[in-house]
Amino acid sequence: MSTKRTFSVGEELAGPVRGITNERIEWYDSAMLSACMNELRQVGSNIHTDEAFARQEGFSGINADGMIMTNWCSEMLVREFGLDYIERGELRTKFIKPVNFNVLLHVKARVKEANRSASGGMEYVLDVWCEDEHGTKLVDGDAKVAAAA
Amino acid sequence: MLGGYISDLDTGDVFEPVEYTLTAFMCSEYAHGTEEQSEFFHSAHNPAGRQLRPPTMIHADKMLLLEKNCLKEQRISGMKGPDARVHYEYHAKQHSAAYVGETLVVTGRIVEKYVKRNRPYLWYYMEVHTKDGRLVTTYNDRTLLRYRPEGVAA
């Protein structure tokens, strides 16, 4: 008998709750460049790190790279579904509003569908989103995970 | 058109592929940069028994494709185009895990270049396979080529 946790329709999952800081923005952008080049790199000027440049491009100030929030959503799915998500999962995120410096971000998900598969596992469909401390949705998305039996 | 700025890319453009060997540093550093502490991405001490690539690293693959195919706007090298690009949608489907030590081949194309609410967008489609042909990730990405609407001065 499987000891895997199962999820019910309507169940809410809570991911990280983290503030958007200059350091976190720099960590992601530098790490992404480092991963690309297989050596440590430091991010330069862009709309995520340079206030003047961000304003010149039409933003109200520096804003977080959307992939920071996507990674925090993914972290929640890795924690809840493990290899089932890493090997067979699907995640979509839409960056519907700029996520500005100093916002406190809450990563959340809700199980929308939970169906038994022919192989005896579970197939989940989830709404996934990030909201600020006032409950305003800044990132919207969904996910699918086929959990093996 | 390949070889220019990202905004020169057009519907139907097919990228020259990128190939690289996945290292422990790449996986761990990418995960570290997002505070992802799962042992899957930092060592082999996890249920898979091998260190894995974070599923979201497809975004780094996109940057590698652009670096190779948009020579006037090589973002990894610090070059900027005429406008900042803004990521609008990430949509990755995993088909298998990728392991440290495997050689990965990244392919991609522009599905569509279009304008919505006076703003130009690119829709990318990408695939990552291992060199021996196993499908790892398929990916759709929509990116805004310019945040300021047409006709609004900087």
- How far is the CA of A124 from the CAs of A70, A101, A146, B31, B152, in angstroms? 19, 33, 6, 25, 44
pLDDT tens digits in sequence order for chain A, 149 residues long: 567 889 999 999 999 999 999 999 999 999 999 999 999 998 888 888 888 888 888 888 888 999 999 999 999 999 999 999 999 999 999 999 999 889 999 999 999 999 999 999 999 999 999 999 999 999 999 999 999 98
Do A93 and A25 share a structural domain? no
Interface probe for A, chosen from B19, B25, B35, B51 (most Cβ of A below 10 Å), is B35
Do A84 and A13 share a structural domain? yes
Tell me B16's DSSP state: P
Contact A101, A61 (CB under 8 A): yes
Instruction: Kindly state the tokens that stand for A28.
Output: 């992601």
Contact A28 B34 (CB under 8 A): yes
How many structural domains is chain A composed of?
A: 2
Complex prediction ipTM: 0.95
Contact B84 A53 (CB under 8 A): yes
From CA A34, how far away is CA A139, in angstroms rounded?
A: 25
Do A85 and A143 share a structural domain? yes
Residues of chain B with C-beta less than 8 angstroms from the C-beta of A37: 76
- How far is the CA of B101 from the CAs of B21, B23, B130, in angstroms? 6, 6, 10
Do A32 and A99 share a structural domain? no
Radius of gyration from C-alpha coordinates of chain A:
17
Do A89 and A54 share a structural domain? no
Do A116 and A76 share a structural domain? yes
Task: Tell me which residue of B114, B125, B82, B23 sits closest to A38, measured CA to CA.
Answer: B23
Q: How many CA atoms lie within 13 A of A11 on its CB side?
A: 11
Contact B10, A47 (CB under 8 A): no
Do A32 and A16 share a structural domain? no
Task: Tell me which residue of B70, B150, B151 sits closest to B115, measured CA to CA.
Answer: B150
For residue A40, the chain B residue with the least C-alpha distance is B29
Do A108 and A132 share a structural domain? yes
User: Structurally, what CATH architecture does the domain formed by B9-144 represent?
Assistant: Roll (3.10)
Do A124 and A92 share a structural domain? yes
Residues of chain B with C-beta less than 8 angstroms from the C-beta of A33: 63, 76
Identity of the residue in B60, B84, B95 whose CB atom sits nearest the CB atom of A35: B60
Q: What residues contact residue B115 under an 8 Å CB cut-off, 6+ apart? A: B121
Contact A137, A131 (CB under 8 A): yes
Do A97 and A46 share a structural domain? no
Interface probe for B, chosen from A21, A23, A37, A83 (most Cβ of B below 10 Å), is A37
Letter string b/e over residues B130-147, b meaning 16 or more CB atoms within 10 A of that residue's CB: beeeeebbbbebbbbbbb
Residues of chain B with C-beta less than 8 angstroms from the C-beta of A66: 87-88, 90
Quote the minimal CA–CA distance from B146 to chain A in Å: 8
Contact A108, A143 (CB under 8 A): no
What range defines the domain where residue A116 resides? 1-20+70-149
Position B21, amino acid: T
Q: What are B47-104's pLDDT values in tens digits?
A: 999 999 999 999 999 999 999 999 999 988 888 888 889 999 999 999 999 999 999 9
Residue A127: CATH number of its domain: 3.10.129.10
